[in-house]
Amino acid sequence: MIDTQAGTRRLRDLLATRARRTGEVTLSTGAKSNFYFDCKLVTLDAEGAYLAGQAFLDALDRLPERPDAVGGRTLGADPIVSAMIVLSHVRDCPIQGFYVRQQPKSHGTKRLIENPPAQGAKVVIVDDVVTSGGSLLQAVKAAREAGCRVVGAMALVDRGEQDGTANIRREVEHFIPIFRRSDFEDTADAPVDRAATRSEPPSISEAAPFAASAHEPSALKDS
């Protein structure tokens, strides 16, 4: 098993070299930005999935209550959830996982949530990237409507734009980003529509800063 700080540094380096793109992009919110994180290039990589699963599982210790299950909205959350539940079994502290569809299944069970937790279950909602927080909050709403108690939320990268952190914390008291934009050199100084406040708690990685690199532009989803 890799030690926590080394694993966090390696995960951040993978995000910087594989997932981060620079150049003008249009996000799913319609906003323009000059950087983008395609985190699935890391969370669907064998090493990246392992490191992300470790980081998210370790972050659960920062919550006041341990969840019975972790879940999030397809597709950004799916590889994170899968990595977490597999590694929780390896650590002998198993937790369940669930996926929130964008729309209820049109046939069969017609479920919105796959492997829905039991009524009253304590759950944590995860996502790969947060901008406005829209995708994560849709999963929070679905989990609550299914009778779950949401005890926390987490994201692999918080872009620090469009009041994403504030939007989430209005609904979920405990929100933990594994990384913030300030953890990535150059990206930290990129202009934004609305700057993130530095009164927020530090990301997991801010205890051990390290260097970054940049790559070609891309445009697609970010929420």
Residue 74 near residue 88 (C-beta atoms within 8 A): no
Cis bond upstream, residue 87 (ω within 30): no
Q: For residue 171, count CB atoms less than 10 angstroms from its CB and return exposed for 0-12, middle for 13-18, buried for 19 or more.
A: middle
- The confidence score (pLDDT) of residue 188 equals 54
Per-residue pLDDT tens for 114-124? Answer: 999 999 999 99
Check whether 208 has a pLDDT greater than 50.
Answer: no
Sequence ranges of the domains in the chain: 4-206
Section 145-149 average pLDDT: 98
Within 8 A by CB and 6+ apart from 196, the residues are: 158, 160, 161, 165, 180, 181, 182
Per-residue pLDDT tens for 124-136? Answer: 999 999 999 999 9
Q: Helix (H, G, I), strand (E, B), or coil: what is residue 40? A: helix
Q: Is the dihedral of CA 41, 43, 44, 46 positive or negative?
A: positive
- The confidence score (pLDDT) of residue 191 equals 54
Instruction: Lowest mean pLDDT of 45-54, 98-107, 136-145, 183-192, name the range.
Output: 183-192
Average pLDDT, the chain: 85
| DSSP bridge partners of 113 | 100
- Put simply, whether the predicted model's pTM sits higher than 0.75 gets the answer yes
Q: What distance in Å separates the CA atoms of residue 211 and residue 115, rounded to the nearest whole number?
A: 40
Architecture of domain 4-206: 3-Layer(aba) Sandwich (3.40)
Encoded amino acid at 104, one letter:
P
Per-residue pLDDT tens for 90-106? Answer: 999 999 999 999 999 88
Structure token digits, residue 179: 């990384």
Per-residue pLDDT tens for 74-83? Answer: 999 999 999 9
- Give kind and range of the element (H or E) at residue 166: helix 164-171
Cα of first residue to Cα of last residue in the chain, in angstroms, is 32
